[in-house]
Amino acid sequence: MPRTAYHGVSELNIRVEADFERLAKALGLDVKRVGPTAELIARAGAREALAQATGEAVFSSISDLRSFRIFCLFTQGMTVDQAEDLVARVFQVPLATAKRLVDAALARYKIDLDAEIAALEKRVLDSAIWLKKAERWEMTIPPVLLVSILDRAQRSNQPDPMRAGTAYVWRFPDETYQAVRQASGLSSRNKP
């Protein structure tokens, strides 16, 4: 029997340790804190391999494959909040490219990821802060939610929200904010 098969466990441990060090370096993390991310990536990789082996996933382009890989990361526990940074580091692309890749994956696998998107929408709406001086709710809306939240605001027949300097920071009049919360299945929120 070859030595690697007989002593595979100890050699595997050395290899895993080296892989953890490389991953920690690539992600900019301390090697002691990379374990959960390594586990997430490993589970997503296993999901991808099984999908390809069973014919569930067949890719005609590298962009299809990347979208599916991002989908696999989501199915294994990556949150929308952490997606752009993690995708940028794992795929070794600029943050702007990672944002486009995540948005494309979320759009492509929207039905499968509805629960994650709904949870993000709740967090975004709950994170709004009341600006007493402006008499508006201010929140940062990620690109994946921008169209749906602004569409709900428009359908509410309430005053329009407005940008607050950047593309993703918006200010909503109270009645519009409450209407969007209601349309999203959330209870109204009192001004502080």
In total, how many domains does the chain have? 2
Helix (H, G, I), strand (E, B) or coil at 173: coil
**137: in domain:** yes
Q: Look up the domain containing 99 and give its range.
A: 3-112
Regarding whether 32 and 13 lie in a shared domain, the answer is yes
Residues 89 and 167 both lie in one domain? no
Residue 190 lies in a domain: no
What confidence tens digit (pLDDT) does each residue in 22-81 have?
Answer: 889 988 888 888 888 888 999 999 999 999 999 998 999 999 999 999 999 998 988 877
Residues 106 and 140 in one domain: no
SS3 for 163? strand
Q: Which two tokens stand for residue 79?
A: 């949150």
Q: Give the confidence band of 155 by pLDDT, cuts at 50, 70, 90.
A: very high
Same domain, 13 and 87: yes
Q: Is 62 exposed, middle or buried (0-12, 13-18, 19+ CB in 10 A)?
A: exposed
pLDDT value of position 28: 87
Say if residue 153 is in the same domain as residue 106: no
